[in-house]
Amino acid sequence: MKPAIARTLTTLVHGLLRGLFRAWVLVVPLVLALSLIRLGQLAYFWPTGFHVSTTDLASVVVQGFRFDLKVSAVAGFLLLLVLPWVSGKVQGRIATGVAFLYVMLSLVNLHYFGFYKTPIDSLVFGVVEDDTSAVLQTIWHDFPVIWTLLLALALTAGSVWLHRVLLRRLRPDTVLQSRHIAIQLALAIVVFFALVFAGKGTLREMALQRQHLTVTTSPFLNDMVPNGPIALKYAWDSRGQSQNLQNPLVGLKAMGFNSPLAAAEALGLPHGSEAEVKAALTAHEPLPPGTPKKNLIFFLMESWSAEPLLYQSSQFDVLGRLAPTLMDPTKACHFSNFDSAQPGTHPTLEAILFSTPITPLTMGDVGRKPIPWSIPKVIKDAGYQTLFVTSARSGWRDLNRVLAVQGFDEVVDANNLKESYPDATLGIWGVWDSYVFKYLDKRLAAQPKDKPLFVFVLTSTNHPPYDLPADYHRVPRDMSLWKGETSSDTLLLNLDTYHYAADLLGGFVQSVQSGPLKSNTIVAATGDHNVRSFGMYAEPARRYLQRQVPFVIWGEGLQCGPQQALPASHRDMFNTLLPLIGVNGPYVNAGRNLLRTPQATPMDAPRTLFFQGESRNAQGQWQLGNKASFACSSPPGAQPAAGECQFNASDDQQERARFGLLDWNVRSSLKK
């Protein structure tokens, strides 16, 4: 070999070996820091009285370590482009920056789990898509920002200290330089593939992926597996999929179906062609002749969780004037085993209005064109005047523009309410909810009798930082009657804002029930999602409460039927409400009519669907397509007999088919 070539080869091998050892010296402190945060997260959120086996706990720690090793090795691998050639000082700065980034992401993941009860997901991008100033104010007010930053700096400093110790001990810049070039080359190959397999997360099996986050039957423990970087990566992947509608089969294939025809067959729907499937998705039974059209006032109540209703009493009042409206079964149907569609307000709003598991759907070009099956459009086409009212600012997520296109004649928000009521104070998220109800009373009184009205109301006061008007008198409660978790430091504040919003709703319902519109007006209300203050729901006995929100319908002469205690969810609401108010049209059969006796068909089965890929039946809940994730959990009095609580493959297939068809309907109809 010529001397010049030999020198070049030696330089390259020395550089590669130096970079590889530097990468591994970086990986070790990163893995240690991420693993420490996971252990801290487990301890920080561990629910009182929650017991698991040592084996399950060890599985979580080990699997978490594997994901920590994976993301750290990926960082080391990517940095091979620079680590072989930079100075020791620059190398130290790189290590500091990467350590702080990884530590900070995992601490954000910790607080994100505390808020949403899930690792970082696509909702995290709301930081820039929502009112960023309001989001940051809420974060500052509601989270220990200073302590989190100090902890991040401390963990980063510890990682940098360990990095320097390893550098001194292992001397990666000079190791083995006296050895023969062949030995160095062989070692470089071995160390390189060690880094590759660490980034893969395994030696023999397929690389660690999202499905490997499930290692126990406890969703709480499984949520402890992902670190911040991997959770953000999966959130980014999900967001990318939701933003690209060009491939209509993406969602179907993710659910295990190669075509909409196969999914329709699993649901017992006509499946001779795609056109036949689409027609079946919007086909409805004819309404009885002469069915009168009624006003519909629908409330999507911010963070209106179901659990507080379980403890309602005169000594533990969380409902105020709403409580007596729930007593008469001929005037109120309360569906008490009911789940939300999404964990956040905007995703839930889109799921309800557009029957879409894809979110955010309407923030781009899609939102600028009418969606044919949009709920307000269907109701408007049936001859209604349509109105969206919120105590928040409608510029949030471009609602003011999107909703006007999707069938609402008017959008009234905090700014309009401030103009109508000069005494209203604009806070972080908008005005107090009381101004919404003042406006509704006035608007209903002025509505022409020959023009039915549909109002969709979005409240906002029951939201962090849980502020209330200065003239609101907080209600004393006997907290010994609260049988839920008590670890949240905002529990009491949250119960106050919960009562405030529920009491206002109750006052409105009572006003309608005693007024001239009582015979031709339906009022309905649900929550957009559960709220973090009420617990982690880690124990199997409480797990069914994790997604639960109330759903109540008020009206004259209601026949509530036998489904009030059966599993149901947001997808069922407008399949129930539209026939009740005399509206037919091309809305999607996302769910079932809860006022009817359920039929023995897949489309009528009493199950819930959480649009992030979970379902629940009378026995328990599971991630779609993941048998190992099934967890037994049912409301008191509804527990299945011994041996009956197990994963049902038929239920899973049908829910995967439903989810896949809803996804396909959106993509195939709205792609450019």
pLDDT digits (tens, 9 = 90+) for 155-190: 999 998 998 888 777 775 565 555 555 665 666 666
612 vs 231: CA distance, rounded Å: 14
Q: Per residue, what are the HEC states of 331-383?
A: CEEEECCEECCCCCHHHHHHHHHHCCCCCCCCCCHHHHCCCCCCHHHHHHHCC
Dihedrals phi, psi of 581, to nearest 5 degrees: -100, 10
What are the structural domains of the chain?
Answer: 3-211 (no CATH), 297-590 (3.40.720.10)
Nearest to 613 by CA among 567, 659, 650: 659
pLDDT digits (tens, 9 = 90+) for 368-426: 899 999 999 999 999 999 999 999 988 887 888 899 999 999 999 998 999 999 999 88
**616: phi > 0 → left, psi -120 to 50 → alpha, else beta; which?**
beta
pTM of the model: 0.85
User: What DSSP string runs through 598-615?
Assistant: PPSSGGG---EEETTTEE
pLDDT digits (tens, 9 = 90+) for 547-566: 999 999 999 999 999 999 99
Please compute the mean of the pLDDT values over residues 585-595 and round it to a whole number. Answer: 96
Q: Long-range CB contacts (< 8 A, 24+ apart) of 604-608?
A: 605/651, 605/654, 606/563, 606/566, 606/567, 606/568, 607/567, 607/651, 607/654, 607/655, 608/338, 608/339, 608/547, 608/567, 608/568, 608/569
Please compute the mean of the pLDDT values over residues 494-500 and round it to a whole number. Answer: 96
Q: How many of the other CB atoms lie within 10 Å of CB of 608?
A: 26
Dihedrals phi, psi of 212, to nearest 5 degrees: -80, 0
Q: What is the pLDDT of residue 82?
A: 78
Please tell me what DSSP assigns to residue 548.
B
Q: What is the pLDDT of residue 538?
A: 85
12 pLDDT more than 60:
no
Spacing of C-alpha 156 from chain mean position: 30
Please, which residues bridge with residue 286 across strands? none
288 falls in which pLDDT band (50, 70, 90)?
Answer: confident
Check: CB of residue 576 under 8 Å from CB of residue 593. yes
Cα dihedral 237, 238, 243, 245, rounded to 10, equals 100
Q: How many residues does the chain have?
A: 672
